[in-house]
Every structure is written in C-alpha cells, then in structure tokens.
Amino acid sequence: MAAAALFDWDGTLLDSRDAILTAWHASSEARIGRRFPASAAEDELVFTRPGLELFSALSDGDPADTAAFVAAFQEAYADSGRAVRAFDGVAEMLVALRAAGVAIGVVTSKARRRLNADVGHAGLDGLIDAAICVEDVAFHKPDPAPVLAALMALSAAPADAAMAGDTPVDIAAGRAAGTAAALGVAWGASGPGPLQAAGAAAVASDAAALTEMILAAVCHHEPRKVSAP
C-alpha cells in the first residue's frame, strides 16, 4: 500500500477565490437577477458546498434553469479562471512529497472540466496522481466518500494517508475517513480557529510546514525542529 497525501483544491493548493467569486457574480446576475454570494454567510456556502447543490437551490430545483445556471457559470469561469495560480511553495511541496514516495491526490467538489483547466493554468501538470471531483461520487465533503475514493484510486490505506484542507468540511472528511492526520492550512478560506475547532491535528502556516507535517504523518519522519527566535 502506498503512502498518500490528499488535498482539497481551491483555497488549499490553488489561489482561486477571486476567479470563483467573479464567475459566481456574473452568472448569478445573469440567471437569477441578483449577485450571489452577497454576504459572508453566502461566501461560506460557495467555498464549502458543491456548486451543483447551490445552482439547484438558487434555481428552485428546476432542472432546465439549473443547467442554464451551470452553463453560465462555466462560461464565466473559463474567462476568470485564467488568473488562478498555485499558492507559494505548492509545486515544490508536491515535488518533494512525490520524491519521498508519497502519492498525491486531490479531493474537490469542483467539476473535472474546471479542475483540468486549473491544473494547466497553475503549472501543476504531472504532479497529481489522482483526483476525485464532484461528478465522481454521490456524497461530498464532509462525508468521507470522496476521501475514500481517492485512497482507493491511489491504492492507499487511510492509516497511511494525510488529508489537508482550508475549511472545516475538509477536516471532517479526513477524520471521518480515518486518515492518519487531518491537517489545516492557514492561508485559505477559514483560518486557524475554525480548523482547530473542527479537529485538525495541526494547522500549517506555509507549504514547507505542511510538507513536514505530511511526511511525519505518513512516512514517520521527525518534523524538522525550528529554533525559537
């Protein structure tokens, strides 16, 4: 069985917040006549719930309207998504983990079409071994199903894997799947407090720190000691 590192995508590996919000604003104004999200609570929904669930709810469950909303969002994101980038140190982290024999998986509620485009825009081609997207599973984070599907794709056991993400739903999914560690990242949507409250084993301040945490969890490496200033 392989050692594996599983990552949420948006807000964890990919800096895509502005691109996603731009696409939501344009498509919601076109389809429902108002800007969504328009509050902190609605922002949280966008970054923690599958888009298809939100498109359907905002279209009152009408299949035709939902499909039109999805198409409008896809068109808007095809433009705004060109600006996404990997967070600082992410490419180097993935290279280092793979060099240590750790397989890389992505667990996202994003459509595969958009994930594939993001990978190219962010320069992460060839660094991801498996990805579970919204269309691949019936249940989504915080349910453990997508995490378990990624582990199966990588031939890895939960005890030999770490799950990293920027929201409490990522932490909940990793813990429910029984991964060796569910790790938070401080640079994404939620920040350290909510991640710690959700049960994160640790919260990384940067990609280098996250690399050390993952290696300690799945390869039993001792984390590098950092002297106090």
Cβ atoms of 147 and 177 closer than 8 Å: yes
Cβ atoms of 9 and 110 closer than 8 Å: yes
Closest CA to 96 of 227, 221, 228: 221
Omega prior to 142 cis, within 30 of 0: yes
Look up residue 67 and give its two tokens: 């499909």
Contacts (Cβ under 8 Å, ≥6 apart) of 191: none
Closest CA to 162 of 207, 215, 205, 124: 215
DSSP letter assigned to residue 3: E
Look up residue 178 and give its two tokens: 């029984």
> Has 8 been annotated as catalytic?
yes
Look up residue 37 and give its two tokens: 């999200």
For 131, the 3-state DSSP assignment is strand
Catalytic entry in 8, 10, 15, 129:
8
Residues catalogued as catalytic: 8
